[in-house]
Amino acid sequence: MLDLIYAALGLIILLLAGDSLVRGAVNLSLRLGVPALIVSLTIVAFGTSAPELLISVQAIMRGVPGLAMGNVVGSNTANILLVLGVPAIISGLSTGTCDTKKSYLQMLAATGLFIVLCMNGVISWVEGLVLLAALALMLSSAFREALSHRRNNNVPADVACCTDEEEVEGADPDMPWWKVILFLVLGLIGLPLGADLLVDASTNIARHIGVSETVIGLTLVALGTSLPELATTVMAALRNQAEVALGNVIGSNMFNLLAIIGVASLVGPMPVEAEILRFDLWVMLGASLLLAPFVFLKWHMGRVWGVVLSALYVVYVMMVLGGF
């Protein structure tokens, strides 16, 4: 019970510290003259993935790399089945107006690349550099597309890159310097503290109930780190912003595979356990392919589909905990 409390405390600290770091970094960058467009494509994206990144790094440094691998694979599965399933149950997601084909195909490409690299049995710094190179290509493509979109809407390039702070998550043009620094300090202190608590508690829980750290990463830790995405998609569904919900999940999954695994592998090698190769990677891929009709055929993701996706996630977790 004490380990569960520590795990919950670590997760709460991670989420709060991650939000604090994003707010501080965004406003510091804008104050220093970094274009808002670049901030939204890089700092915000990396900042919101900071909790998962710190968990992965801490897990590798503490000799439990399975926890890091399980967290990423489990989070990607949860993002699709649960993070989209729950809001679909609440209010449905009308994806008819969504244009996420390009980003969805990029997510599938990232998933395929990750699975191919895992076949080697370990993600080392070499595979990590490949993943980071793929991330750089996708970011540059998104940057060019965003600039082109703004130019086509008659927004001058210099203005497009230096305004619209309100479009950037956590931006506050009137935030004083002391508050920017406070957010940064709280984020930089809280992230390693929360990751340390969560990794230690998760490792102890795994030992107590007789399962591997990978299983805990695939279930408990993955579910916890998917809570911010769940909150975002629920709010987007309630506001009839299906594109925001779908885009959030697709973007999060790409960053998990390319950025988090890529950076974490530079800290130390990440062995890919046989169970993940045999089962979990293919569940992650299968869940990703389930989105195809909603992306290409514009199917409505109603309550029935929400129940189906959520039920599939429950079945998956039960199979993982049951040692399938």
At 182-193, the pLDDT tens digits run 988 888 888 778
Residue, of 17 and 45, whose pLDDT is higher: 17
Q: What is the mean pLDDT of the chain?
A: 82
What residues make up the domain containing 255? Answer: 2-321
> What span, in angstroms and rounded, lies between the C-alpha atoms of 45 and 68?
19
pLDDT above 80: residue 238: no
The total of other beta-carbon atoms located within 10 Å of residue 53's CB is 24
Residue 43: pLDDT band with limits 50, 70, 90: low
Tokens of 147: 């600039």
Residue, of 42 and 86, whose pLDDT is higher: 86
228 HSE (CA, 13 A, CB side): 19
Residue 130: pLDDT band with limits 50, 70, 90: very high
Number of domains in the chain: 1
Residue, of 267 and 233, whose pLDDT is higher: 267
* CATH number of the domain residue 194 falls in: 1.20.1420.30
What DSSP state is assigned to residue 167?
A: G
